[in-house]
Chain A
Amino acid sequence: MKFKFRAPLATAIAMSVGLVVLSGYFIPAAEPLRFILLRVGMVLAAVALLVGVINLLSVHIRKMADKDSNSWNSFILVVALLATLGIGFYDMFKAYMYGNPNFEWTNWIFTYIQRPIETSLMAVMAVSLVYAATYLLRRKMNYLAIGFFFIVLLVLLGSISLSMMNFPILKDIRSWIVHIPAVGGARGLLLGIALGTITTGLRIIMGTDRPYEG
């Protein structure tokens, strides 16, 4: 069997760094080293985010040259991104030069552009969820789907408080569902996710998975 070991240096770096950070969680003497490496990781993650933003920008600048209907949207995206960055740099300049770190215009963008869109997307989800729920019931009517919607209905009825519809028993049933069976299921799911995370993480630290080569 031929075995080709790809990216040996990168694998060695990932394994050694990972082992040092992991040991810092359980060996007190290695804790300062863990904090230093976590700081390095934080800076690298921040730079990776910037690389991602630059990549997004370059992809949409290329798309702007296309003669299809999406090129206009790409232009809007590039303008929105550059404007936000420009205003952000202006606010940063003001913060450091004049000691005025209130980020007035960046906050304006957040309050009047980002937040309305985010809240509206969330609001549209109220409609989408009802549509998805009816779609699920039409496509797959089994005991689990019926049980799922029965629970949803009970929790919703127990959560709303209307003067003409005040049934304390519904609140008690909701409280019991949320605090007992849902906690059992959620614990199982959380433990499963944690076990999956540990397995995947250990595979990377042991060099079995190498998502950095490429």
Chain B
Amino acid sequence: MNLAIASLADFVGVFLGFILTLLVFSYVLGDNPLFRLAAHIFIGVSAGYAAVITIYNVLLPQLIFPLIYGGEGETYFSIGMLIPSLFLFAKVTPIKRAGNWAMAILVGIGAAAAVGGAITGTLLPQTIGTINSIEPSATGDTTWANWLNAGIIILGTISTLIYFHFGVRSKPGRIPKRFAFIEKIGKIGQLFIATTFGVLFAGIYLAALTALIERISFLWNFIKEIGLQLLASV
């Protein structure tokens, strides 16, 4: 991999990237001021970048430009959005109660969107997917292995859901306990949860390993292509 340096800005950028990578890698030795410095740079840059993207992609085209250049309807609609938006700024002032109404709109819309998204985006598709796994016409495979796999998927789905059922019936003088059969199915659910988290862990570890290889490769190339030249010139 070459570093592809075409200009002075690229050179400065690659040099900065090299320094920042070393600062972050110093965390391997434990939490230290160098790592904290990189973390604070990262938070500052990320917040600034998010603000710029938000202003350019959302606020200017959806609020400011319709307010200035839009037709009559768009202007009134933008004024309608601007008022609760200004109320939101009151949240960081002593009159923060004024921001509650704007926050209520945001929370109400967010909650409804979350409920709608959970029903149409997760609950229905995942339920249909589970049903389809035992529907031969959906897969076209009627071998015993397919039936067995479908059974395992259904057992995994149901036992995982049951594991998170913590409802108990309390009786006076007794410690509240889950039903014995729920406890037993919950144990099977734990196995499936461990399997799923194991697969997720392995996936994340592979991604982290790929990033580590990329960074080490970058450091090596920097030292080979630029670092040695700089040392020779000194």
| Chain B residues in 8 Å Cβ range of A16 | 108
Whole-angstrom CA separation of A9 from B103 in the bound complex = 12
Whole-angstrom CA separation of A44 from B129 in the bound complex = 35
Say yes or no for B223: interface residue by CB 8 A criterion: no
| Chain A residues in 8 Å Cβ range of B77 | 36
| Chain B residues in 8 Å Cβ range of A13 | 101, 104-105, 108
| Chain A residues in 8 Å Cβ range of B207 | 122
Interface bits B1-44 vs A (CB < 8 Å: 1, else 0):
00000000100111011001100110110000100111011111
A127-170 interface with B by 8 A CB criterion: 127, 129, 133, 144, 147-152, 155-156, 159
Interface bits A155-199 vs B (CB < 8 Å: 1, else 0):
110010000000000000000011011111111111111110110
Interface bits B103-115 vs A (CB < 8 Å: 1, else 0):
1111111111111
Residue of B96, B102, B108, B203 with most chain A CB atoms under a 10 A cut-off = B108
Q: Is the CB of B52 within 8 A of A10?
A: no
Contact of A120 with B20 at beta-carbon distance under 8 Å, contacts A152-B198, A187-B153 already known: yes
Interface bits B186-212 vs A (CB < 8 Å: 1, else 0):
000111111111110111111111011
A94-149 interface with B by 8 A CB criterion: 95, 106, 108-127, 129, 133, 144, 147-149
| Chain B residues in 8 Å Cβ range of A83 | 48
Q: Is the CB of B211 within 8 A of A119?
A: yes
Interface bits A1-28 vs B (CB < 8 Å: 1, else 0):
0000001011101111111111011000
Q: Is the CB of B81 within 8 A of A44?
A: yes
Whole-angstrom CA separation of A15 from B101 in the bound complex = 12
Q: Is the CB of B194 within 8 A of A184?
A: no
Interface bits A61-72 vs B (CB < 8 Å: 1, else 0):
000000001100
Say yes or no for B62: interface residue by CB 8 A criterion: yes
Say yes or no for B119: interface residue by CB 8 A criterion: yes
Say yes or no for B158: interface residue by CB 8 A criterion: yes
Q: Is the CB of B161 within 8 A of A188?
A: yes
Say yes or no for B149: interface residue by CB 8 A criterion: yes
Interface bits B41-57 vs A (CB < 8 Å: 1, else 0):
11111111111101110
Whole-angstrom CA separation of A186 from B212 in the bound complex = 27
Whole-angstrom CA separation of A205 from B111 in the bound complex = 7
Q: Which residue of A lies closest to B18 (CB)?
A: A116
Given contacts A17-B105, A55-B92, A84-B52, 10 further A-B contacts (CB under 8 A): A78-B44, A126-B205, A126-B208, A129-B204, A151-B195, A152-B202, A187-B129, A188-B158, A189-B193, A190-B126
Interface residues of A (CB under 8 A from B): 7, 9-11, 13-22, 24-25, 36-51, 53-56, 58, 69-70, 73-74, 76-85, 88-89, 91-92, 95, 106, 108-127, 129, 133, 144, 147-152, 155-156, 159, 177-178, 180-195, 197-198, 200-202, 204-205, 211-214
